[in-house]
Amino acid sequence: MLTWVSAGARLAESFPGFLGAGWVRGGVDSREWHMLYRFVDDDALAGWEGSSERRWWLDGAPGTVRQGQTEKRTGIEGWFDAAAGSVVGPPPRPAPPRWRQAIVIFTVFLPLSLLMNSTLGLLLTDVVPLVVRVAAVTTALTPIMTYFGLPWATKTFAWFLHSEPPPWRRRRTS
C-alpha cells in the first residue's frame, strides 16, 4: 500500500499547480486511508482529478480502493492548518506560528487595503457614510484576499512561514 500511495503522490507532483500531497489514516490499525493533495486552483485540481494518469493509478490499486467522501477547501481555513490523523508518506508541515501567519497576511493586506481605500474609498468619501465605505472596501477585499492574495502569499512566503532559508540562499544541487 505504501508503494502505491507514494506512486500516486509522485504522479500528482508532475501536474501543473501541484502544491503538495500526503496520506493519513484514522489510526495505526485503521484500514481506511485518505489522500490529501493541494493544488493552486480549481482548474489545476480538475486537471489532476480528470487525468488518465490518475485513472491508471487508481485502477492499479491493491485490494479494494474506492473514492469516498471528498472535501475541498478553498478559504483561509486550508492555508495554514496541518492534517489530522496518522500521516503515512511525506508528513505535512506543521502549522506555522501565528505571528508568522499575521506578518504574511499583513504583507498582502496592507497594500491591497491602501489601494482600495485610495480608489474606491475616495470615490465614496463624499457620497456615503464611513461605515458604508468600510463595508464596501471590506466586501471587495475579502474575495481578492481569499482567492488571490493568500494563495500567492502562502506560496511566495512558504520559506518564511516554515522557517526555511529563502529561495535565494538555498544551495543548488545538480
Q: What is the DSSP string of 140-151?
A: HHHHHIIIIIHH
- Asked if residues 57 and 7 have their Cβ atoms less than 8 Å apart, the reply is yes
pLDDT given for residue 84 in this prediction: 45
- Are both 163 and 137 inside the same structural domain? yes
0.85 surpassed by pTM: no
Domain boundary residue among 66, 88, 110? 88
Residue 94 in grid coordinates: 506543521
Residue 76 in grid coordinates: 483561509
* 93 is a domain residue: no
- Are both 102 and 82 inside the same structural domain? no
pLDDT band at 112 (very low <50, low <70, confident <90, very high): very high
**What is the per-residue pLDDT across 46-85, written as a single tens digit (0 to 9) for each?**
999 899 998 888 888 767 676 666 666 655 555 455 544 4
- Are both 81 and 102 inside the same structural domain? no
Mean pLDDT of 120-149: 88
Instruction: Quote the CA–CA distance of 52 and 58 in Å, as a whole number.
Output: 10
The total number of structural domains in the chain stands at 2
pLDDT > 70: percent of the chain: 79
- Are both 62 and 9 inside the same structural domain? yes
Question: Domain range for residue 63?
Answer: 2-88
